[in-house]
Amino acid sequence: MCGEIIMMSYKNAVILMAYGGAESVDEIPAYLRHIRAHYSRMTGGGEPTREEVEDLVRRYRAIGGYSPLLRIVRSLSQKLENHLNEQGYQLRVYYGMKHSKPFIQEVFEAVINDEVENLLGIVLAPHYSTMSVRGYHEALVEANKTHGGRVHLTLVDSWHLNPTYIDRLAHRIEQTRETKFNPSRKVFYLFTAHSLPEKITEWGDPYPAQLHQTVEALASKLNLKAGEYGFAYQSASSHGEPWLGPSVEEKLEQLRAQDWRNVLVAPIGFVSDHLEILYDIDIELTQKASELGLTLERIESFNDSDDFVEVLASVIAESGFKAQLKQQSVA
């Protein structure tokens, strides 16, 4: 005779947070409007110009007319929840976006309705910056304040040196080297991340240092020698103020001058396919490389892969977040 199965509600949960994107070109004006409002100190806020909308529409159409980010994160959250529950934890996994639906604040309403007591927030960006990760945290904290701070929040600042992240990323780099390049050819390893305004260095922002730490951890893991690898920033905004460099375009020109012919790109600041990957690297940077006579290949993004689920499970374990064990039925 089987014992009673005890049904329990999800008191502990995780929320994965990502930048967001337009799921069709029709959504682009609203998407841009939200971004401009968020970064009003740089953009001045207000309506996006016709030129800004047309430029983003053009780039979106070049990658198929939509960003796959939401679909990837939706699938990832379900896979992570399944994985955690298979490991014996009772954890629900939510997902929310910073600049598009479902907004973090909207998702928090579901957190409240589900009577979650403890929530772990993970931004799908390994490196912390006041201009990026902090904004996600602030959105979560503000949403909680509107409900009287009913939920205990644990926020992961960064996971740029998580051992599983470094290991799985190194494996993808090795796979790309083995499958995309002739073993006898010299290959330069170019690590990239999204550029940010230079002024963050005046604030003591940890972003550049954390990127450097990830690069060096990967170089050590891959046994790369000095001169075989480097770092550059990508996807800088066209707004007037100076952004961090060197840019990936400048780096390719430098590599060509140094007589390199093969470049393996590892976008360490990104975990999912989005405009910065599918357009900025796969189209624009690949074209730039071709014009310079370089062969450029990119590693596959983590997206919703099983190895990225393992990375996030490791990040959760490292966070010290205490997830309650499922109640098991007894015979």
Please check the confidence at residue 322 and state whether its pLDDT lies above 90. no
Residue range(s) defining the domain that contains residue 49: 12-159+306-318
Query: Given this model, what pLDDT does residue 47 score?
Result: 85
Query: Given this model, what pLDDT does residue 89 score?
Result: 86
Range with the lowest mean pLDDT among 35-44, 102-111, 287-296?
35-44
Residue 248: inside a domain, yes or no? yes
DSSP code, position 266 = E
Please check the confidence at residue 2 and state whether its pLDDT lies above 50. no
pLDDT digits (tens, 9 = 90+) for 179-200: 999 999 999 999 999 999 999 9
Please check the confidence at residue 125 and state whether its pLDDT lies above 70. yes
Give the CATH number, domain containing residue 249. 3.40.50.1400
Q: Is residue 147 located within the same domain as residue 23?
A: yes
Can you tell me the distance from the alpha carbon of 166 to that of 268, in angstroms, rounded to the nearest whole number?
A: 10
Handedness of CA 36, 39, 42, 46 (dihedral sign): positive
pLDDT digits (tens, 9 = 90+) for 126-183: 999 999 999 999 999 999 999 999 999 999 999 999 999 999 999 999 999 999 999 9
Can you tell me the distance from the alpha carbon of 6 to that of 259, in angstroms, rounded to the nearest whole number?
A: 67
Predicted confidence band at 231 (pLDDT cuts at 50, 70, 90)? very high
Residue 74: inside a domain, yes or no? yes
Amino acid (one-letter) located at 209:
A
Contact present, 131 and 165 (Cβ < 8 Å): no
The response to whether 178 counts as a known ligand-binding position is no
Predicted confidence band at 7 (pLDDT cuts at 50, 70, 90)? very low
Please check the confidence at residue 30 and state whether its pLDDT lies above 50. yes
Mean pLDDT of 81-90: 92
Q: Strand locations in 4-129, DSSP E?
A: 12-18, 92-97, 118-123
Predicted confidence band at 1 (pLDDT cuts at 50, 70, 90)? very low
Please check the confidence at residue 43 and state whether its pLDDT lies above 70. no
Question: What's this model's pTM, rounded to 2 decimal places?
Answer: 0.93
Residue 17: inside a domain, yes or no? yes
Q: Is residue 147 located within the same domain as residue 192?
A: no
Mean pLDDT of 222-242: 93
Query: Given this model, what pLDDT does residue 40 score?
Result: 64
Query: Which residues have a Cβ under 8 Å from the Cβ of 140 and sit 6 or more positions away?
Result: 15, 17, 104, 108, 119, 121, 153, 155
Amino acid (one-letter) located at 103:
F
Q: Considering only CA atoms, which of 92, 93, 110 is closest in space to residue 9?
A: 92
Query: Given this model, what pLDDT does residue 5 score?
Result: 38
Q: Is residue 141 located within the same domain as residue 245?
A: no
Q: Is residue 128 located within the same domain as residue 205?
A: no
Q: Is residue 153 located within the same domain as residue 196?
A: no
Q: Is residue 180 located within the same domain as residue 247?
A: yes
Q: Is residue 152 located within the same domain as residue 30?
A: yes
Residue 330: inside a domain, yes or no? no
The response to whether 276 counts as a known ligand-binding position is yes
Query: Given this model, what pLDDT does residue 276 score?
Result: 98
Predicted confidence band at 238 (pLDDT cuts at 50, 70, 90)? confident
